[in-house]
Amino acid sequence: MVAAVSERQPPRLPAGKGGGGGGGGAGVDLPMRMCGRGERGASSLWCVYLIVSSRISRTYIGVTNNFPRRLKQHNGELKGGAKASRAGRPWICACIVQGFKDKYGAFRLEARWKEASRSSPRKNGKDENAQNRLLLHREAALSRAKDSLGGCHLRVDWMAGPSQQHGSSPS
């Protein structure tokens, strides 16, 4: 079951509170097969994403079929970003989950991911990077949510996160 999952481990966030300060997630390499860059009607268009604020220790989980446009909305470059994401601008992409058969599968994972994040206790350590603690919490919650849905067919691409040393490339 686990062998079928294609995951890239999250690289460490830069010490300066997130990625580049640009509005569109500057400094973050998004995967080439990212949702919204495929053919219209293709099943891979729907994705669940995790974005992280480059200013404060806050994340946002959402669903879209066009991630580049949605990130611009969250960052205020286009109209339509979620009200909950206004305070954390600019946002950078931390994780994209792809491979859903339809939008309902994406919505199910989003709901389970949020539920798993709320239901598990967060460690309130005194280390210098609260964002890394928060991303570790989200990573563990995603793993539990995927397992509960039998998400072995899903592809998880981490662009920013706490699990690897800063500067190393994902494996």
Backbone dihedral region of 170: left (phi > 0), alpha (psi from -120 to 50 degrees) or beta?
beta
Q: Sign of torsion, CA 27 29 34 38?
A: positive
Count of Cβ atoms closer than 10 Å to residue 50 Cβ: 27
The pLDDT tens digits of the residues spanning 51-87 come to 999 999 999 999 999 999 999 999 999 999 889 999 9
Per-residue pLDDT band at 122 (split at 50, 70, 90): confident
Least confident of 6-20, 65-79, 147-161: 6-20
Q: How far is CA 55 from the centre of its chain?
A: 16
Instruction: Provide the percentage of residues in the chain whose pLDDT is more than 70.
Output: 65
Query: What's the predicted TM-score (pTM) here?
Result: 0.73
- Give the start-to-end residue ranges of the domains of the chain: 2-158
CB contact set of 155 (below 8 Å; sequence gap of 6+): 5, 6, 7, 33, 97, 98, 99
